[in-house]
Amino acid sequence: MLYLVPTPVGNIKDITYRAVEVLQEVDLVLCEDTRVSRKLMQAYGIDQKLISFHAHNEHHQVDRWISELQNGKSIAQISDAGTPGISDPGFLLVRACHENDITVTALPGATAFVPALVSSGLPCDRFHFEGFLPQKKGRQTRLKFLATVESTIVLYESPHRLIKCLGQIEEHLGADREVVVCREISKMYEEVIKGTATELIDNFSARPSVKGEIVIIIAGK
């Protein structure tokens, strides 16, 4: 069986009892960065075999892990933070499991966009999850599309591209479009900042630096 196990996006206590049990009991754990995952394992006293499985090698390793699963191994897949498959590796292995009649169990748990969305104050009965925009090719096309979306929009962004992204939101979706920036979710310096795209550009431009993973919530058209 393949288990998809969410890991904390901020506070290390944001993990379920069941997730800890699964990580203890499986034969091995696939993770993005063994150094990051080792810290989590040590925090919960889990002595487990960790193997790198990330965006740069997953295409070449899927067949290997399908073979291990077919031979009776139980495998957990985790990402550095959050739920595997949500803007992180996971999809390819899950698809291959379904193609080979291998059971997949996804545990409920942490993912960055849910707390950001529900704390934004924007409608969350319907939403469009965009994840990370393309860095170069296709970025303008996606922004033009997002300008037409009527439901609340969810983006992921890195801190060093935040101001650039807000500028593009201002350009393509309008300077008065309501935007919420959430950073450092569940950590000590968590922030949820709401305003127009222009106001948020002014806010973050005045800071010496911006740290932490970023979730941007944008009001629909």
Q: Nearest-CA neighbor of 162 among 119, 197, 111?
A: 197
Predicted local distance difference test score (pLDDT) of residue 164: 95
Domain boundary among 78, 106, 134: 106
Q: Are residues 102 and 13 in the same domain?
A: yes
- Let me know whether 85 and 141 are in one domain: no
- Same domain? For 97 and 133 the reply is no
- Count of domains observed in the chain: 2
Q: 214 near 113, Cβ under 8 Å?
A: no
Domain range holding 11? Answer: 2-106
Q: Are residues 96 and 119 in the same domain?
A: no
74, 106, 138 - which closes a domain:
106
Distance CA 43, CA 59 (A): 31
**One domain for residues 162 and 184:** yes
Tens-binned pLDDT, residue by residue, of the chain (221 aa): 999 999 999 999 999 999 999 999 999 999 999 999 999 999 999 999 999 998 888 889 999 999 999 999 999 999 999 999 998 889 999 999 999 999 999 999 999 999 999 999 999 999 999 999 998 899 999 999 999 999 999 999 999 999 999 999 999 999 999 999 999 999 999 999 999 999 999 999 999 989 888 999 999 99
Those residues whose C-beta lies under 8 Å from the C-beta of residue 108, and which sit 6 or more positions away, are 6, 16
Q: Are residues 131 and 174 in the same domain?
A: yes
Using an 8 Å Cβ cutoff, are 12 and 46 in contact?
A: no
Bridge partners, 85 (sequence order): none
As a whole number of angstroms, the longest Cα–Cα distance in the chain is: 57
